[in-house]
Structure formats: structure tokens, C-alpha cells
Structure 1
Amino acid sequence: MITLSVVVGDGRKYLIHHRSLQSIGGNLLNSATVSDLQPVFLALDAMLHVDNAVKGERTLPYRDVIKSMPPLKGLDPTDVLIYVTLPFTKQGDHVMFYKQPERRGFDTSYVNAVTVMSFQPGSDVIEDIHFTFGGKCFQPVVKIQALQQEMAGKCWSLSLVTTVLKSIGNLLDNRTTVTKDARHVAMAQAFKFMFAIEETISGKTDPNGPSALSTVDYESTRVFDPVGPDQPPEDAIRRPIPHSSALQMTCGEAVYLDDMPRSEGELYAGLVLSTRPHARIKDVDVTKAIALPGVTGYVDHQDVPGKNLWGCAIQDEQAFAETEVKCCGQIIGLVLAEDRQVAQEAARHVTVTYEDLPAILSIEDAIREKAFYTEELAKASHCLR
């Protein structure tokens, strides 16, 4: 077994207040994450080993824990995650990871996949096959094991590619949360895996398939001015200076907002956002929201001391919409509660009554309504010229 320690410092890594989301434990147990580790540990049948002063040491399959996020099934807020174990792969196992970020490089995964195929030792007879998909488009993480019964016992050949892709496509079609684009990316990753298996087993690929296997090694671009031999070492001019937080970030010790433990008496806020691009606010009914257990109050523009305005260069935006909203997502108010989920749920119970106003959503609309920059606005100091 491979043991990966995730305990930091004095070992107090609570499952609700993670010490660091960049650590293995904090990453795996953060229900909101799109971590690349989640599908990997799920695909490889990871086991979580936790300890508790009352319940004692316990071992939980990660697949059971991640299914219920949130909350984390089988875990107590006072549990401590000691370590995570992964089984060794055996001869005939093929495990590969694919990642499709939203932009070039190592950005957050749009879709990632962990593909596993096992052969009977010393043969090309399939023993097991499953695909696990994660990323922003697969929340929660999806593990497809239905192919195992269909493929077990068959000898490997490229003719199986069509069968596998068709089966994956049908299974993903039944998931309403998976978009059409995400489905195509997931199937492309499965396609690459199948051709990689062919290359591993036979040592060659189909003439039309090599591009499916091509990978790109990304490297950051760094350009430094040369430093003369006579320049003193303490002189920082032209020398690359590490960012002050670089060591903390790379070592997983940087403290982010989610890493900070909750303070006594701290409340959570659920945002009440506009659902109209341009409308007049006629009424805001918070009765149902306030009645929910754990909700402590509601605040809006009437509760702001002083001016209800903010802005980086010029304070000309309302912190809370007062009588009119000018975009979808504009903040109308906040529901305060003792729990994050309760605050978010209560915010959805706030009923806002609107009177829709004309909205200019395109250049054609602006021309038709003659909504042009005026000469006075063009002369403003904060306008681009």
C-alpha cells in the first residue's frame, strides 16, 4: 500500500475547518473543489483513515464519502484525517490521466478523466475497465463502471473503440447535468486512452490516430536582464526576486479565506441577486427566508451607514441596489445565518417583485435607442480615450 500523509503540524486537521486546501486531505474533502485529485483517488479506490476521540480509528472508502458531498457521509466534524492509502497497481493494469483546462496551461479543469483498464496477467484479455470524469463540468465526480460487465473476457482490439465510446456516450446522455460540450470532451479523452492502450500493447497505432496521442509540455516564459560580475549580491536591480508569498504557496502553507477557522459568533451571508437585466424593484419579501431555522437577519441598502456607494476609482456604484437593478447578479441584499448552506438556501427563499424596464443588450439596441456616449461623459477622467 502507498501511504500519503496529510497531517500538518500538531495533526489537528479538522474536516470542517481545513488547515490548507492545497494539502491532499484538504483538497479531497473540500466539496466545492474541482480538484484533479478527486477523480484520481476515486478511480483508484482510495481509503481514508480517520481518528476520533470518541469513535476511535476508522477506515472509510473515499467513494462513499464523495458520493454525499455535501455533507461528508460517515464523517464527524471532530474527525481527524490521519492518512490516505491507495492500492498498488498490478501487472496488466493501465492507468492514465487526462486534463482539459479552460485555457492553455495548468488552469482549472473543464473536464478531466482517469481511465483504468486491467488485463489478465500475460494476456490481452480484458479483466476490468472503468472511466472517472471530474472537473467543473462533472460535479460531483462521475465514475462509470457499467462497461466492466460488457467488456470483461474480451480480447483487446481496436474494434472495441466504437463499442466503448458508444456506451460512454449513452451513459453521459442520461446525466442531465453534463453539457453537450463536456460530453464531447469526455469522449475525446476516452478515445485517446483507447489508442494509447493500442500503442502500449502492439507498439504501433492506426495511421489516422497518432494526433490523438500527442501531448504538449508547457513551460513558463522567463526573461531576465544579465547581471554584471561586479554587481554586489545584495543589489536587487535586474535580479529575479521571488514573490513574498511564493514559498508559502508552493509548500501549501499559505492561508486563504477557506483555511481560516470560524470565529466565535461569526455568521454567513447568502447573496440575494437580481434575476433581471434592467428592472425596478417593487417589493422584497424576506418572510420565508427569516422563518428558516438558523437565519438571524437580512440586510440591504437601508442598513448601510453613510453612503451606499463604492468603487475603485470613483464611488459611483451602489453596494446594494436601492430602487432599480441594472444587470443580472446585482446584489440586492444579504441573508445572515449561522451556517453557510442555510444562508444560501434562505437567500433562495427571498421573493423579489420586479417591474421590467427596457434593456439595451446589443450594439444594435444601443443604436436604435440612441444610447451614445455624450460629450460630457467622454471628457470624464475615468473614461478611455
Structure 2
Amino acid sequence: MVNVAGPQTRNTATLGGHIVAALVTSDIIPSLIAAECCVVVAGNKGLSQKSIAAEDFFLLDRKVAIQADEIVLSVTIPLTKQNEIFAAFSTHTPHRRDDEVDHVNAGMRVRFTSTGDAVEDLHIRYGGIGLIAAKKIKDDICALNKRMWDEMLLEEVYKIIRKHSDVIITSTKVIIEEGAMKDTEEFQLMTMKNYFFKFFNMVMQEMGKEKIDRNQRMGLSPLRTIKGTQTWQTHTVGAVGEPLQDISSRQISTGESKYLDDIPRREDELFLALLTSSRPHAKIR
């Protein structure tokens, strides 16, 4: 855990503090909104309580619907309904010794009609792109309700993301100026498309339909390949000193990297902890 976030985050982080901070790079807020969660707020020294939908709780970047004398008491997370599928996606920075920052993240939920052949409610909420861009994309995607879950819907979502690219770029520049994130706009757009493509195929698999070929994963426009070289003094014997590709680089940049929290728990799993001795060469009795 020493490689995850900074000491302050590791020692004091809480869900309540995370959502009240309402950072634009939060990977929890988009999921809370997409899952239709509610934030329970207590005020008047605990004598009064109210429940606020997550959609209405987050007003602006770093601003929430809570008064100075109120605190977050709890978060209500609803169970998944019948014919409903939910998923969350995030891409983390490789510099994990510093404070953990998300490049782009998303919470996605789709609910089908009782017959299961048409979309009843599609809710996609992106994070890390600014609140204005996230709301515009979410509102346009909601207009796709009653559509069939097919390649035409996939293309429509791609078009909506590209349609609001100017707003995304503007929001990104603001975030870069604040030092919170240093991604290129094109990387953000490709990652957003990639997230929905993964969600689309996950839903297709749940429905028992054939998944789309992975070559279409980055959207309608062809992916621009960036090539580069790295050289230094090499050795002719063995692999020592030879340039090797970082295996995790592609996984991190595409949002496919897995961490311990992504691995499902097992009933018979064991935990290992490393303990250090306070005395050198001590004998264990």
C-alpha cells in the first residue's frame, strides 16, 4: 500500500471526505451519480436529516449542496434492478507514489425494458473532464433511450463524445492549469470511447449476443499511432542493458490494468503481512 496515493490520503481518506471534496478527478463521484445513489446529510446538530440525489449533490467542481453546519452522514447505494447492468471504469497515473489522480473515469448503467429488447434508461457519467462536459454528454446520451442495443447505438455515443470535444478540451485546459492532470485532449477522447466500448461488449455478453471486434474499440476514426525510439549503450551478451517495453504501460493507458481491489475475494483466501523486528539478530521463542 505504500505505492498507492500519498501518506495523507492513505491515512485519512474516507468516502464522505472524498465526495465532499468533489474533485474533478474523482473516480467515485461518476459511479455514485450513474448508480442513482443518494447522500444523506445531517444538520442542526443531528436533529434534522435529508437525502439528496448524487446528481443534485454535486453542483460544480469542488462545490456541493451542503451547508456550513451540515455533515455527510451516509451514502445510500441502491441494489441493481432487474434487467439492469452497472460498471465503473478508471485509468490511474503510473506515478503512484504521488497523490493518486485519475486521467479519465466513468460510471455506466443501462436498464432494459421488461422484454429486454430495448433500452429503457441509459446513464453514462464521465469524470476528469469537467462538470459541464460531463453533464452535456450525459443529457445527450439520455436521448438514446428506447433504442436497441446494437452497433448503431455504439456509433451514436461516439458521435456525442466527439460533438462535445470542444467543451472537453476547455475543461481539460482548466484542469491542467490547476496542475491536477496533464493529459492530451485526444487521449481523453479515445479513453472515453474505449470505456463505453468495453461496457457495450460487457452488456452484449450478458445478453448472449456476439461481441464486436476489438479493432473497433477506439471508435469510428482510425487510431493515430505514435511511434518513438529510445537508445542507450547496449550490450551484445544477454538482455542486460537492452531496451525492453514496459508491460504495464499499455494496460495503464487503455484502462485495462488490474489492481488488488479488482480481484474478487475468495472464501478461503489467506492474507500475508510482513513484520519487521525491532532488534537485530533476535531469537524467536
* Equivalent residues of 1:98, 1:189 under 8 A apart: yes
Residue 258 of structure 2 corresponds to residue 217 of structure 1: yes
Provide the aligned C-alpha RMSD in A: 3.6
> Share of identical aligned residues, percent?
18
SS at match of 1:39: helix
* CA distance in structure 1 between the aligned counterparts of 2:60 and 2:200, rounded to whole angstroms: 31
* CA distance in structure 2 between the aligned counterparts of 1:194 and 1:128, rounded to whole angstroms: 14
* CA distance in structure 2 between the aligned counterparts of 1:104 and 1:200, rounded to whole angstroms: 35
TM-score by length of 2: 0.60
Residue equivalent to 1:184: 190
Of 117, 128, 132 in structure 2, the residue corresponding to residue 124 of structure 1 is: 117
* CA distance in structure 1 between the aligned counterparts of 2:146 and 2:62, rounded to whole angstroms: 38
Residue 16 of structure 2 corresponds to residue 25 of structure 1: yes
SS at match of 2:171: coil
Within a 5 Å distance, the mapping from 1:227-242 to structure 2 comes to none
* CA distance in structure 2 between the aligned counterparts of 1:109 and 1:45, rounded to whole angstroms: 22
Q: CA deviation at 1:118?
A: 1.3
* CA distance in structure 1 between the aligned counterparts of 2:96 and 2:69, rounded to whole angstroms: 38
SS at match of 2:207: helix
Post-superposition CA distance 1:247-291 (Å, at most 9, x none): xxxxxxxxxxxxxxxxxxxxxxxxxxxxxxxxxxxxxxxxxxxxx
* Equivalent residues of 1:168, 1:187 under 8 A apart: yes
* Equivalent residues of 1:115, 1:131 under 8 A apart: yes
Structure having greater relative contact order (Cα 8 Å, sep ≥ 6): 2
Instruction: Give the structure with the higher percent strand.
Output: 1
Instruction: Give the structure with the higher percent helix.
Output: 2
* CA distance in structure 2 between the aligned counterparts of 1:105 and 1:78, rounded to whole angstroms: 35
SS at match of 2:164: helix
Of 137, 141, 146 in structure 1, the residue corresponding to residue 140 of structure 2 is: 146
Amino acid at match of 2:203: I
Residue equivalent to 2:52: 60
Residue equivalent to 1:377: none
Of 79, 83, 91 in structure 2, the residue corresponding to residue 100 of structure 1 is: 91
Structure number, greater radius of gyration = 1
* CA distance in structure 2 between the aligned counterparts of 1:85 and 1:29, rounded to whole angstroms: 15
Residue equivalent to 2:75: 84
Residue 152 of structure 2 corresponds to residue 159 of structure 1: yes
Q: CA deviation at 1:201?
A: 1.4
Amino acid at match of 1:157: D
The structure-2 alpha-carbon separation of the partners of 1:180 and 1:47, relative to structure 1 and needing over 3 Å to count, comes to same
* Equivalent residues of 2:87, 2:108 under 8 A apart: yes
Amino acid at match of 2:139: Q
Residue 210 of structure 2 corresponds to residue 169 of structure 1: no
Deviates more, 1:92-101 or 1:172-181: 172-181
Q: CA deviation at 1:128?
A: 1.3
Of 15, 38, 44 in structure 1, the residue corresponding to residue 29 of structure 2 is: 38
* CA distance in structure 2 between the aligned counterparts of 1:140 and 1:52, rounded to whole angstroms: 29
Amino acid at match of 2:191: V
Amino acid at match of 1:146: D
Runs of 5+ in structure 2 lacking a partner?
1-10, 173-184, 219-253, 261-276
SS at match of 2:67: coil
Amino acid at match of 2:93: E
Runs of 5+ in structure 1 lacking a partner?
1-19, 220-232, 239-385
